[in-house]
Chains A and B, each alone.
Chain A
Amino acid sequence: MTITLRGLPAAPGIGLGMIFVYQATELDMEGLPPPSGRHASDPNQEWSRFLEAQAAVDAELMQLSESLDSVAEDIFSIHRLILQDKTLTENVRQAIHNDRADAVIATKQVIRDMAKVFRALDDDYFASRAADILDIGRRLLTQLGAVPPQTQLAQLPPHAILISEDLTPSDVTQLPPKIAGIGLAFSAPTAHSSILARSLGLPLVCGIGMELMAIDAGRPAIIDGHQGRLLIDPTEEDIRVYGDARRQRLQRQAFAAAHAHEAAITRDGIHIPVYANANTEEDVYARREQGADGIGLLRTEYLFQERNAPPIVESETALYRRLAADMDDQPLTIRALDVGGDKFMAYASPQVEANPFLGQRGSRFLLARPELLRDQFRAILRAAQDLSANAVIRFMLPMISTVRELEEVRRLLTEVQVEENGGDAGGGGGATIEIGVLVEVPAAALLAERLARWVDFFSVGTNDLAQYTLASDRTNSAVAALADPLHPAVLQLIARTAYAAKVFDIPISLCGEIAGDVSAVPLLLGLGITELSAPLPTVPRIKQTIRECDMIQCRQLAESALRCNDADDVRALLAIGVA
């Protein structure tokens, strides 16, 4: 009899294997020797032992944060801060000096109490920080010689489905590179262990509940990180279905990766450029490995987020120059500084608004602070000067909702061009500069024909377009599911925008999260999208999917989707189309 346990999907993937139970018992008080035997003879000596252990762990964490990727770097630099936290240190000191505990007992007690306090918090995000505290505690105790280094986790076999109440980030980094998956009784998709599992490609289901811990080791199981399920004692049929799904997924990934650097051309010969979305300078350089044909969305907010003042034109120019030099004539699409909504910066923020998503966002804000727009465009023009005429830099304007806004922005940009080129608006050599609109407000999609004649390209931002079309805040979990980019109402707007792009013969890209969903690719092409800009890791698979598309079938699929009643119907349609 198969038992299906449900939890929260925290890292995608499917794993077939056998249950391994991990009990993190190191910090249980049962593990402590009787208090009488452990009274510290010399508090000062115990205190020094603690400080030495603290310094050693700090060195360990520093090394970890440098040797792993940026996700881990972020996590372990925060662990260092917790390690040196004055509350933690002071409580250990008191336990040693006042309660005469030795360094080991003092550390165990303080860590355990603190983890307990955090576990009891009612907000999941803050409660799941308990795992971070226990992680640091275990490192301290290992240094103090009280806990053997973790060997159990590092020796798990590839078919292991690891189940545990919770896992610390260190636990996850200890895992061998290939295990089948992880199931956790507690934790949340926002916990550091989940973030790490995603970056390692390990399927993870969390928040299953304590019934998980009643499962015996050694039972066969399937973990489904897409739907948040753990199947214990699966049937032959379950194993076959999940096994096939998993194999196909892996085969397709390997095949796509092998062909990532080839152009994505549909069966009937239409070339669809696939770009990558980038948040950082490194992302722009990393596009090569994934075979991206350029950058379809560079979010410039991140490039200067550490700053308290607007970037100076010179430093911004230098950055764009470095990026543009790496592009080899592939297009680099730079989104104009996009603040407001849920994005704010120290030096550029609208007034506090009751409805920031309906407030002074994107181009609306830039029109109120034109010096920010002017400086950014000036930097782009200067960076473009060094490049050949084959190079293309695209400047993309977010949150345009009226033709007048676009006219005003274009007038400002022309003024900057005239200033830079000594009276000539046409440009003084260098790369081709293209100006485009990020279509993310229904009004812009509905009036796409009026906007099209003012721009060189369109790009559809489906995340915001969906939330505005369905009037549902995508950051509010109670209604976020409504903001589905596959809703037929959103598809109607995309089709309309694509039609305008076709009439005016300009490219139309799509840069929402849906561009990274392989099942949606045939539909998007059928709606008239001519370029896609997807999250970096998905680029090879998107390209491979395009190669399997036929435009006539894509258009038929789009016509059917536009007639659907809701997003679920569209998904059902896509499921048939892909299979």
Chain B
Amino acid sequence: MSQSESIQVPLGGVQSSPDSPPAAASAWTEVTINHPLGLHLRKGKDVVQAANQFKAEITAQNLSRHSPVVDAKSILQLMQLQARQGHTIRLSAAGEDAEAALATLSALFEHRCYDVSDAP
């Protein structure tokens, strides 16, 4: 499929683009996915739950896949990043708690948390 196709699908949700004016404060950062399974559903759930604790609008884009910009507060949009281990994700936030949101989320995205794929 072409990448542009998935941008055009009317999924709503994606309100912010890099061109939209910053609300109060805006910031961005780039993180690398370290988890061996990538940003899978369970991990995505943690991200969405964390993102929803902030007022700032938070978006993510998978630079390694040239993905569309998606809303980090939506699990359905996050999954479309198809983020695998080693991919670089740009996180942007706009709003009064933008900095704090980015700090929390980049830790989660980058985070190397446990998974049951373990074996001795």
Question: What residues make up the interface of A, taking CB atoms closer than 8 Å to B?
Answer: 74, 77-78, 81-82, 85-88, 90-91, 94, 113-114, 116-118, 120-123, 125-126, 129, 132-133, 277, 279, 297, 299, 301-302, 305, 335, 342-346, 349, 352, 398, 438, 440, 459, 461-464, 475, 511-513
B114 with A302: CB separation less than 8 A: yes
Cβ–Cβ contact B116 & A87, under 8 A: no
Q: List 10 A-B contacts (CB under 8 A).
A: A78-B75, A87-B71, A91-B12, A123-B84, A129-B79, A299-B120, A335-B120, A342-B118, A344-B112, A475-B36
* Distance of A301 Cα from B112 Cα, bound (Å): 13
- Verify if B9 is at the interface (C-beta below 8 Å from A): yes
Known: A74-B42, A279-B116. A346 touches B34 (CB 8 A): no
Please judge, given known A-B contacts A301-B118, A464-B120, whether A117 and B41 are in contact too, CB under 8 Å.
no
Contact yes or no, A78 B119, CB < 8 A: no
| Set of chain A residues within 8 Å of B112, measured between Cβ atoms | 344-345, 349
A82, A94, A122, A512: the one within 8 Å of B82 (CB)? A122
Shortest B81–chain A CB gap in Å is: 8
Q: Sort A-B residue pairs by CB-CB distance and give the 9 closest, nearest first.
A: A344-B112, A461-B120, A87-B13, A305-B114, A87-B74, A123-B82, A90-B12, A91-B12, A120-B1
Proximity bits, B28-58, A CB within 8 Å = 1, else 0:
0000101111101110010010000000000
User: Given the complex, which residues of B lie within 8 Å of A345, measured CB to CB?
Assistant: 112-114
Nearest CB in chain B: distance from A539 CB, A = 16
How far does the Cβ of B53 sit from chain A's closest Cβ, in whole Å? 14
Q: Is the CB of B75 within 8 A of A352?
A: no
Q: Given A123-B84, A342-B36, are A87 and B114 also a contact pair (CB < 8 Å)?
A: no
Q: A302 to chain B: which residues have CB within 8 Å?
A: 114, 116, 118
Pairwise interchain contact A122-B1, C-beta atoms closer than 8 A? yes
Asked, given contacts A122-B1, A342-B117, whether A113 binds B10 with beta carbons under 8 Å apart, the answer is yes
Q: What residues of chain B lie closer than 8 Å to A118, measured between beta carbons?
A: 79-80
CA distance A491 to B95 in the complex (A): 60
Q: How many A-B pairs with Cβ below 8 Å? A: 116
Within the assembled complex, what's the spacing in Å between the Cα atoms of A39 and B24? 41
Residue numbers in B under 8 Å from A78 (CB-CB): 41-42, 45, 75
The reply to whether A114 and B76 contact each other, CB–CB distance below 8 Å, is yes
**Cβ contacts under 8 Å, A512 to chain B:** 119-120
Q: Please, which residue of chain B has its CB at the minimum distance from the CB of A120? A: B1
Min C-beta distance of B62 to chain A, whole Å: 11
Q: Shortest CB–CB separation between residue B3 and chain A, in angstroms?
A: 10
A113 to B45, CA, bound (A): 22
Known: A117-B80, A352-B34, A463-B119. Contact between A81 and B75, CB under 8 A? Answer: yes
Least CB separation from B41: chain A residue: A78
| Min C-beta distance of B54 to chain A, whole Å | 14
* Shortest distance between the CB of A535 and any CB in chain B (Å): 9
Q: A86-B71, A342-B36, A349-B112 are in contact. Are A81 and B45 (CB under 8 A)?
A: yes
User: Is there an interface contact between A114 and B111, defined as CB atoms closer than 8 Å?
Assistant: no
Contact between chains at B119 and A513 (CB < 8 Å): yes
Closest to A396 in B: B120
Q: Could you tell me how many residues of chain B have their Cβ less than 8 Å away from some Cβ of chain A?
A: 39
**A459 surroundings in chain B (CB, below 8 A):** 120
CB pair B118–A91 under 8 Å, yes or no, is no
Q: How far is the CB of A210 from chain B (nearest CB, A)?
A: 18
Which B residues touch A346, using CB under 8 A? 111, 113
CB distance from A224 to the nearest CB of B (A): 25
What is the minimal beta-carbon distance from A340 to any residue of chain B, in angstroms? 10
B5 touches A (CB below 8 Å) = yes
Q: Which residue of A lies closest to B77 (CB)?
A: A87
Contact of B75 among A85, A90, A297 (CB under 8 A): A85
Q: Is the CB of B6 within 8 A of A117?
A: yes
Task: Determine the distance from Cα of A475 to Cα of B114 in the docked complex, in whole angstroms.
Answer: 15
The docked-state distance in angstroms from the alpha carbon of A117 to that of B116 is 29
A125–B11 CB distance below 8 A: no
Count chain B CB atoms within 10 A of each CB in A346, A463, A512 and give the residue with the most: A346
CA–CA, A226 to B31, complex, Å? 40
Given A297-B120, A346-B113, check contact A87 B76 (CB 8 Å).
yes
Complex formed: what's the CA distance from A299 to B75 in Å? 30
Chain A residues with Cβ below 8 Å from B84 are 123
Instruction: Return chain A residues, CB-CB under 8 Å to B36.
Output: 342, 475
Asked if B118 and A299 sit within 8 Å, CB to CB, the answer is yes
Alpha-carbon separation in the docked complex, A512 to B74 (Å): 39
Residues of A contacting B75 in the complex (Cβ-Cβ under 8 angstroms): 78, 81-82, 85
User: What residue of chain B has the Cβ atom nearest to residue A77's Cβ?
Assistant: B45
User: Chain A residues near B37 (CB, 8 Å)?
Assistant: 125
Contacts of A464 in B (CB 8 A): 120
A122: B residues at CB distance < 8 A: 1, 82
Give the CA-CA distance A461 to B34 in the complex, in Å. Answer: 25
Q: Given A438-B120, A440-B120: A126 and B12 within 8 A (CB)?
A: no
Assess the A86–B5 pair: CB atoms within 8 A: no
Q: List chain B residues, Cβ under 8 A from A475.
A: 36, 117
A344 to B73, CA, bound (A): 25
Note all chain B residues with C-beta closer than 8 A to A349: 112
| A457 CB to nearest chain B CB (Å) | 14
Does the CB pair A301–B114 fall under 8 Å? Answer: yes
